C-alpha cells in the first residue's frame, strides 16, 4: 500500500504571530502603478518597527522576503511573488525636521519629505518632489532626478537585517552609486536622516513648482506607468537611444513605449506584466542593434512569470 503524500502547509500557517496584518494570496496589481502582476504568496503589513523586527527574527529561514513601497518603479510578474512581501504602512511614515536635518520613515512619500523640508526652510531636497516613491525605495536604488540623488543628501539610514537586528549605517557604508545600493536585498530600510541647507521658503517652493511643471510637461504622469524604465548609460540619455532605435510608440499587447517620453512604458489598459517586460526587452534589443549600447533596467522586476503565449511586437 502506497503512503499518502502530506499536503504542504500554506505559508501563512508557518509564519510567526504578528500585530500587523498577514494576507495570503494578496493581489499586488492593485498597489503597483502599472496595475499589473500576480499575487503575493503572503503580504505582511507590520504595525511598527518592533513588529517588523520580531517577524524577521522569528520567520522560517527558507522564506524569502521582498519589500514593496508604493509600487511606482516596480514590475510584478504575472505569476506572483513567492514568500512574504513586506509593505510598510502608517507606522513608517513620520517626517520630522530637526535643525538642518530631516528624519523620515522609509514608508514616507518622497514628495512629503520635500514638502516638509521646504516648510522648514531647508533646500537641497527639492528633487525628491519629482520622484514618485517612498524613502525606502529611494534608498534602495539611490534614486535621483533633476541633478541630484539620495547620496547627495543622505546622512545615514536605519535598516533591519534579515534576522531583525537594527543597524544605523552612515552614508559611506551604503555603497551608493548610480541607481545602486550595496545593502543586501533582504535587509529592510526603515528610516533615514537627510541633510538640507537653509534657504528662503518661497524660493524652495518655487523650485518645486518648476519640477512639477517639468514632469507634467515631459512625462506621462497621468497614465499607468513605472517611471523611468532604463538607467542612463554613461555619457548617454536612455530616451535618446530609444528614440534613435525607432521605438517611440512601439507596442506589445496592451503595453506601449510612451509617445511623450520614450523611456517610459505605459499600460494602455489591457497590458500584462509579460507584455511590459517583453516590450522592454525588445527595446533593449533594438537599441543594442542600432547603437551597440545595452540598456540596463532601472525598473525593479520581481516575482515569477506566468505561462502563456507571447504577444507580437508591433510599431
Please tell me the predicted confidence (pLDDT) of residue 309.
45
Classify domain 91-205 at the CATH topology level.
Answer: 3.30.465
Nearest to 188 by CA among 201, 206, 169: 169
Classify domain 223-314 at the CATH topology level.
Answer: 3.90.78
Please tell me the predicted confidence (pLDDT) of residue 2.
54
Instruction: Pick the catalytic residue from 179, 193, 215, 284.
Output: 179
pLDDT per residue, tens digit, the chain (315 aa), is 455 566 788 999 999 999 999 999 999 999 999 999 999 999 999 999 999 999 999 999 999 999 999 999 999 999 999 999 999 999 999 999 999 999 999 999 999 999 999 999 999 999 999 999 999 999 999 999 999 999 999 999 999 999 999 999 999 999 999 999 999 998 999 999 999 999 999 999 999 999 999 999 999 988 999 999 999 999 999 999 999 999 999 999 999 999 999 999 999 999 999 999 999 999 999 999 999 999 999 999 999 998 764 444 554
Please tell me the predicted confidence (pLDDT) of residue 307.
73
Task: Measure the CA–CA gap between 202 and 180, rounded to whole angstroms.
Answer: 33
Contact 220, 260 (CB under 8 A): yes
Please tell me the predicted confidence (pLDDT) of residue 5.
61
Task: Measure the CA–CA gap between 51 and 236, rounded to whole angstroms.
Answer: 44
* Dihedrals phi, psi of 301, to nearest 5 degrees: -115, 125
Task: Measure the CA–CA gap between 33 and 273, rounded to whole angstroms.
Answer: 12
Question: Does 228 qualify as catalytic in the annotation?
Answer: yes
The whole model's pTM is what? 0.90
Q: Tally helices (H) and strands (E) across the chain.
A: 8, 20
Sequence ranges of the domains in the chain: 11-90, 91-205, 223-314
Nearest to 303 by CA among 34, 13, 123: 34
Grid cell in block for residue 294: 545595452
Instruction: Pick the catalytic residue from 41, 228, 251, 284.
Output: 228
Instruction: Pick the catalytic residue from 41, 126, 277, 298.
Output: 298
CATH architecture of residue range(s) 11-90: 2-Layer Sandwich (3.30)
Question: Does 179 qualify as catalytic in the annotation?
Answer: yes
Grid cell in block for residue 130: 519629482
Amino acid at each position: 500500500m502506497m503512503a499518502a503524500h502530506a499536503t504542504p502547509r500554506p505559508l501563512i500557517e508557518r509564519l510567526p504571530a504578528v500585530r500587523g496584518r498577514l494576507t495570503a494570496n494578496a493581489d499586488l496589481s492593485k498597489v503597483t502603478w502599472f496595475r499589473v502582476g500576480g499575487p503575493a504568496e503572503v503580504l505582511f503589513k507590520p504595525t511598527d518597527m518592533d513588529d517588523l523586527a520580531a517577524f524577521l527574527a522569528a520567520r522560517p529561514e527558507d522564506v524569502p522576503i521582498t519589500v514593496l513601497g508604493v509600487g511606482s518603479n516596480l514590475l510584478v510578474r504575472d505569476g506572483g511573488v513567492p514568500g512574504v512581501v513586506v509593505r510598510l504602512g502608517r507606522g513608517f511614515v513620520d517626517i520630522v525636521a530637526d535643525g538642518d536635518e530631516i528624519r523620515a520613515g522609509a514608508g514616507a512619500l518622497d514628495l512629503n519629505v520635500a514638502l516638509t523640508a521646504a516648510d522648514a526652510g531647508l533646500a537641497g531636497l527639492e528633487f525628491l518632489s519629482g520622484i514618485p516613491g517612498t524613502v525606502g525605495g529611494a534608498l534602495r536604488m539611490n534614486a535621483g532626478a533633476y541633478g541630484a540623488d539620495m547620496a547627495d543628501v543622505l546622512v545615514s539610514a536605519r535598516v533591519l537585517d534579515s534576522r531583525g537586528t537594527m543597524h544605523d549605517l552612515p552614508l559611506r557604508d551604503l555603497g551608493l552609486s548610480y541607481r545602486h545600493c550595496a545593502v543586501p536585498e533582504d535587509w529592510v530600510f526603515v528610516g533615514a536622516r537627510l541633510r538640507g541647507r537653509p534657504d528662503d521658503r518661497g524660493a524652495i517652493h518655487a523650485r518645486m513648482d518648476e519640477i512639477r511643471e517639468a514632469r507634467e510637461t515631459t512625462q506621462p504622469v497621468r497614465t499607468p506607468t513605472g517611471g523611468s524604465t532604463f538607467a542612463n548609460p554613461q555619457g548617454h540619455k536612455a530616451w535618446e537611444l530609444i528614440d534613435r532605435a525607432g521605438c517611440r510608440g512601439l507596442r506589445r499587447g496592451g503595453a506601449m513605449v510612451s509617445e511623450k517620453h520614450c523611456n517610459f512604458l505605459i499600460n494602455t489598459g489591457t497590458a500584462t506584466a509579460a507584455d511590459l517586460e517583453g516590450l522592454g526587452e525588445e527595446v533593449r534589443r533594438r537599441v543594442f542593434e542600432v547603437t551597440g549600447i545595452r540598456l540596463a533596467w532601472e525598473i525593479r522586476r520581481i516575482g515569477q512569470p506566468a505561462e502563456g503565449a507571447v504577444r507580437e511586437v508591433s510599431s
